[in-house]
Structure 1
Amino acid sequence: MRPAGSSPAKCRIAPGCVNASSACASWKEPIDGPAPVKAPLAVAAALASLLWLAGCATDGTSASESGANIASPPTARSPLPGSPEESEERRRARIRLELAASYYQQSNFTVALDELRQAIEIDPNYAPVYGVLGLVYNDLGDRDRAEDAFQRGLRLAPNDADLNNSYGWFLCQTGRERASLDRFARALNDPLYRTPAKPLHNAGICALRIGDEETAERNLQRAFQVDPSNAVAMYHLAELYLKRGEASRARFYSQRLLSTYEPTAQTLWLALRVEHSLGNGDAEKSLALQLRRRFPDSPESALLAQGRFGG
């Protein structure tokens, strides 16, 4: 439930799937887009908003629309941004990376690439740069360069949780779902990783893609336990239980999703199908009215008009 007096977060679900949690990301992105970069931000702030890796989609989406997030808050093993321990080269490269992250989130890939190249020129051993570079190349459809970028980053920091999480999402998007599960597990091996819900819900989504519902349910449930506001986990758990015919369990997650975030066509359609399955006619009519009024041109409204509740 939201705190009293608060309003639902304004997020949108990426087409087909839904990276969600404390920030609007992995299927969730802020609906109004990122704020302009006014000053160098901490790596955590600039990059954590990038990708809530793997969102709520059921089909492939770009990392920026889903769950690959690039960097977590600094840990005890790395100098804090702006601290005396951070070298001048690392500081300058970090600023370039933060700018690149902002441009990437706005789908301004040309400028993002330029900033990343400058970051590499300044500090070629700064591993997080290669993770973002891989995501940019992947969104541009250049999978060979994306693979090379991820591999370069992992050679520099093989145990980096964010790099393993992002590379896992890349593997999942390129038909290597089983291999992606190992990368998400590696990310979770880091006891200092502050956002474990991301690799957990990513693992859930990728397991669903290969029909491994048991693994998917286990990881999505863990993601929800770690972060009860995780929209990705809620969306996919509701879909999973609805598919299984466990509509009452599906309703718990679909209703929580609607009460936590501003409704979208996808979440309204999910909740409507759950109520239809339960035979709750009044609730179904109310949700149908909202869907038609708020999203009249959406694919979900078209499915409703056709009576295709299995879609």
Structure 2
Amino acid sequence: MGVKLRPIALLFSVSLALTGCVTTDGRPVDESRAVVDYMNLAIGYLKGGYSERAIKPLERALEIEPDSAHVHGTLGIAYQRQGEDQLAEKAFDRALVIDPGASDIRNNFGAFLLSRNRFQDAYHQFELASKDVAYSQRSRTFENMGVVALRMERSSLAIENFTRALRLNSNLPKANLELAAIYKDQGNLYKGWQHYQAFDEATEQSARSLLLGIELATANQAQGKAASYALRLERLYPGSEELKQYRSRLDHE
């Protein structure tokens, strides 16, 4: 059995972890242990931001375990971080040839394609991963599909995917924030406010989210909340474009 690397959480925060492996094919236990050690070393480098140092231990791991999908998938991430797009895509492709059912690798490949603005290709990879009902990060995959749909300016498809994501995991800040923004733009201010409040309870605010909060709170007669968001926008993001927009609107009221 090949060494398995747990899913890397996407879209925009990356965590790496390694699970052990018990050999069942007659290979020496210390050989498998060496692969685990090389993987741990590579993951440590990736976590520390030293992607160039991760390549060598991954190559050593592949000398021992040449058909490990998760070693190839991790190599893809290392190359991606170095901006080596062709090598990254080759590594991801090789990983998925070895294990087409590796939904975590497919999700990571989708994130790589999205980062290169290859929206249709990214959506396809996320869609394939989303069909795996046993995938522990399936909700994130639907969330990723919603992000891609937004980038393709397909708001109805984005709503569908963000809603699917929240059915699986109601505590997804990105999905709630984007739904709040979509519904606000569509004039459904109450539904937008519901999603915004779910977002507000789950994560820290950005300048963009605070401005959206001011607009939705004001529209829903939650003046205290609107004032609180405005104060935080002033304090936390004094030079932001969002604060300029907010002040400009005040001047015209």
Q: Under TM normalisation by the shorter chain, which class is it?
A: 0.7 to 0.9
In the TM superposition, 1:67-216 aligns within 5 A as: 81-83=20-22, 85=24, 88-216=30-158
Count of aligned residue pairs for this structure pair = 244
SS in 2 for 1:190: coil
- In the alignment, is residue 274 of structure 1 matched against residue 213 of structure 2? no
- In the alignment, is residue 290 of structure 1 matched against residue 229 of structure 2? no
Which TM-score applies when normalising by structure 2? Answer: 0.82
Instruction: Check the 8 A contact 2:173/2:198 in 1, yes or no.
Output: no
SS in 1 for 2:117: coil
- Which 4+ residue blocks in structure 1 deviate beyond 6 angstroms? 68-71
Instruction: Check the 8 A contact 1:130/1:150 in 2, yes or no.
Output: yes
Q: 1:243 to 1:130 in 2, by over 3 A?
A: farther
SS in 1 for 2:217: helix
Instruction: Check the 8 A contact 1:93/1:119 in 2, yes or no.
Output: yes
In the TM superposition, 1:9-48 aligns within 5 A as: 43-44=5-6, 48=7
Structure 1: 5+ residue runs without aligned partners? 1-41, 55-64, 74-79
Instruction: Check the 8 A contact 1:43/1:98 in 2, yes or no.
Output: no
- Matched-pair identity in %: 27
SS in 2 for 1:260: coil
RMSD: 2.8
Structure 1: distance between partners of 2:207 and 2:232: 9
Which TM-score applies when normalising by structure 1? Answer: 0.68
1:96-116 CA-to-partner distances (Å, cap 9, x unmatched) read 324423432332212223332
Structure 2: 5+ residue runs without aligned partners? none
Structure 2: distance between partners of 1:276 and 1:140: 45
SS in 2 for 1:252: helix
Structure 1: distance between partners of 2:64 and 2:248: 57
Answer 1 or 2: which has greater helix percent: 2
Larger relative CO (CA 8 A, sep 6+): 1 or 2?
A: 1
Larger Rg: 2
Instruction: Check the 8 A contact 2:52/2:82 in 1, yes or no.
Output: no
Structure 2: distance between partners of 1:122 and 1:93: 7
Q: Which residue of 2 aligns with 1:242?
A: 184
